[in-house]
């Protein structure tokens, strides 16, 4: 609720700026959005206590708008702003790097109202003629439009999975269901998915389908039959997603689950194996003539075909049938003993060191690293050198006072545009570990993002390279970075590369992760948590790592505390 509310105030600020309002007014709404994002109390509880107007930075007028949203799901001011502007104009904000001021200029000077108008202005050269719009700026916008086109129509894994799980729970309300599973690319842990596939074993298919299409959030019913139903439902406020439910008999459930999980290339390979054994494989089972020889259990399909069971995340026909591959050694959530990248109220986090430690203990963790932002991340309240020295002492005190978990003093240190690090070496040496990340100047040519990252890797105090490509799924493409060169440098310097579990990042991506572990590089699966709730998104990183063939022994935060401490010391040598 609070995320959507913060987004509404951010959109008000954007539309005010596009409409030509003064910067002070639009920034006041951006400030409200930031306050809401950092709010630790439940907004509904604050409303019930009638204290919203007492939140620092929230005035009576703003409080009224918050009350309005909580009551109706809308803010009249936002709806009015939308009506005043061409419908397609705010959509241009989706283009990476294009802000409301430039959109306002395009609208005012060239009557650009939507993507088509903007593309036409690029093609006919009129956009480049505007003040401040050189060839490089125009090309950057064109690249952003192309990026959006390639990513549209698919939903990030982290948005789709909660929707699928909620629907599965809704289906269970129908009554006893023998089996129900999420299938498709979502089950394989793909970073984006086209639609959601659900599979059930049940004797009353038509009745179950009717229950399915009656789901309260349905926007459209596409099909409703005896064994299959299709609906669309909203995912947040910006998109819809199609959900397909198939009901099969229990004796075919395993075969159907394998078939509808995919991928197509993996299934084609399996069908080839079946043909070599004079068998036929389809969604109903594995058949010898008319006789079913497997189908109720998914694992039996693989067993009958003479190959090891392949975990869903590996089913992309990228080497998963290699007989030497130990698929049973893949990383599991329970293997993680800690998290080495998280933020607190010292920078831009929502919770204190003590609160993060308590939440980590509930997950069964034995250690965490507090890694708040360095000084150049001004927007994230990065710590000056003086504040960082004080913060290190504060972390050490917390480590002494909190039983049952080790708290490492760390930082997320910016890799600066000139390839130096944001803190001097004496500060980095005082930290137990250092996460080094690129946060800005991502398109700079010299030194390049690759050169900057390698320079950080070669610093003896850098332990982990955080979110190495800098991408944000569907929002910002990865930096133009030489992954093989990064991997080679990391292997040479015993520096770990991060799989960032934030669903917006999933960085490194699966194919890059595999390249790294094949080269002997160690991986850190971290959440980059900015709140206690964020710690629970570790499973997104684990799924991505599994897709990259990562084993327990490849991940530094699966090590027992003593062995991790030894590794941290050795990595600096």
Q: Per-residue pLDDT tens for 537-567?
A: 999 999 999 999 999 999 999 999 999 999 9
pTM: 0.79
> Residue ranges of the domains in the chain?
2-139, 155-325, 333-571
Strand partners, 307: none
- Per-residue pLDDT, averaged over 327-355, amounts to 95
Tell me the CATH number of domain 155-325, given options 3.30.460.10, 3.40.50.300, 3.40.50.2300, 3.40.30.10: 3.30.460.10
333-571 belongs to which CATH class?
alpha beta
| Residue 170 confidence class, pLDDT cut points 50, 70, 90 | very high
pLDDT of 385 over the 70 cut:
yes
Please tell me the distance from the alpha carbon of residue 69 to that of residue 539, in angstroms, as a whole number. 32
Specify the higher pLDDT residue, 40 or 57. Answer: 57
What CATH homologous superfamily does 2-139 map to?
DNA polymerase beta, N-terminal domain-like (1.10.150.110)
Please tell me the distance from the alpha carbon of residue 107 to that of residue 122, in angstroms, as a whole number. 14
pLDDT of 151 over the 60 cut:
no
Peptide bond connecting 263 to the previous residue in cis, omega within 30 degrees of 0: yes
Strand partners, 182: 198
Burial state string for 411-423 with b = 16 or more CB within 10 A and e = fewer than 16:
bbbbbbbebebbb
Determine the pLDDT at residue 144: 80
| Residue 475 confidence class, pLDDT cut points 50, 70, 90 | confident
The SS3 of residue 117 is helix
Q: Is 366 exposed, middle or buried (0-12, 13-18, 19+ CB in 10 A)?
A: middle
pLDDT of 402 over the 90 cut:
yes
- Per-residue pLDDT, averaged over 515-524, amounts to 97
Tell me the pLDDT tens digit for each residue of 182-207. 999 999 999 999 899 999 999 888 99
Please tell me the distance from the alpha carbon of residue 245 to that of residue 226, in angstroms, as a whole number. 11
């Amino acid at each position: 609720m609070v995320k959507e509310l913060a987004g509404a105030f951010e959109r008000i600020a954007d539309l005010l700026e596009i409409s030509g309002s003064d910067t002070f007014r639009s920034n006041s709404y951006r400030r409200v959005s930031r306050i809401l994002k950092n709010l630790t109390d439940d907004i509904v509880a604050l409303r019930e206590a009638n204290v919203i107007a007492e939140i620092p930075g929230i005035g009576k007028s703003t409080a009224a708008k918050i009350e309005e949203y909580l009551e109706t799901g809308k803010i009249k001011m936002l709806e009015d702003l939308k009506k005043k502007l061409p419908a397609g104009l705010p959509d241009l904000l989706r283009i990476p790097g294009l802000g409301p001021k430039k959109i306002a200029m395009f609208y005012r000077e060239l009557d650009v109202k939507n993507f088509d108008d903007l593309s036409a202005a690029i093609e006919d050269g009129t956009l480049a003629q505007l003040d401040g719009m050189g060839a490089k700026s125009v090309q950057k916008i064109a690249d952003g439009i192309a990026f959006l086109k390639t990513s549209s129509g698919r939903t990030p894994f982290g948005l789709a999975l909660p929707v699928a799980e909620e629907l599965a729970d809704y289906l269970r309300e129908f009554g006893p269901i023998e089996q129900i599973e999420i299938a498709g690319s979502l089950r394989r842990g793909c970073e984006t998915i086209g639609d959601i596939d659900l599979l059930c074993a049940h004797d009353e298919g038509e009745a179950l389908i009717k229950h399915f299409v009656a789901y309260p959030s349905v926007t459209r019913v596409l099909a409703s039959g005896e064994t299959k139903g299709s609906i669309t439902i909203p995912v947040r406020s910006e998109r819809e997603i199609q959900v397909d439910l198939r009901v099969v008999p229990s004796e075919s459930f395993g075969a159907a689950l394998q078939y509808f999980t995919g991928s197509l290339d993996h299934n084609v390979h399996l069908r080839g194996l079946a043909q070599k054994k004079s068998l036929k494989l389809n969604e109903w089972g594995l058949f010898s003539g008319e006789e079913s020889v497997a189908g109720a259990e998914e694992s039996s399909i693989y067993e009958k075909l003479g190959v090891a069971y392949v975990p869903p995340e590996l089913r992309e026909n990228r080497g998963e049938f290699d007989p030497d591959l130990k698929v049973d050694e893949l990383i599991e959530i329970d293997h993680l003993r800690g998290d080495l990248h998280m933020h607190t109220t010292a920078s831009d986090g929502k919770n204190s060191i003590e609160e993060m430690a308590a939440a980590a203990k509930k997950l069964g963790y034995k250690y965490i690293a507090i890694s708040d932002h360095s000084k150049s991340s001004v927007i994230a309240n990065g710590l000056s050198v003086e504040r960082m020295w004080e913060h290190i002492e504060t972390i050490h005190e917390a480590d002494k006072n909190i039983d049952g978990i080790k708290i490492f003093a760390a930082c997320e240190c910016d890799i600066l545009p000139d390839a130096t690090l944001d803190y001097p070496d004496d500060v980095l040496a005082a930290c137990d570990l250092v996460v080094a990340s690129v946060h800005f100047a991502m398109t700079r040519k010299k030194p390049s993002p690759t050169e900057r990252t390698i320079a950080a890797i070669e610093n003896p105090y850098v332990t982990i390279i955080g979110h190495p490509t800098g991408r944000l799924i569907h929002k910002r493409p990865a930096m133009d970075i030489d992954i093989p060169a990064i991997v080679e440098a990391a292997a040479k310097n015993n520096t770990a590369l991060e799989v960032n579990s934030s669903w917006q990042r999933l960085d490194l991506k699966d194919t890059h992760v595999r390249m790294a572990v094949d080269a002997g590089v160690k991986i850190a699966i971290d959440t980059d948590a900015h709140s206690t709730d964020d710690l629970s998104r570790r499973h997104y990183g684990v799924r991505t790592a599994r897709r990259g063939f990562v084993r327990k022994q490849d991940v530094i935060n699966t090590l027992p505390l003593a062995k991790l401490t030894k590794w941290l010391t050795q990595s600096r040598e």
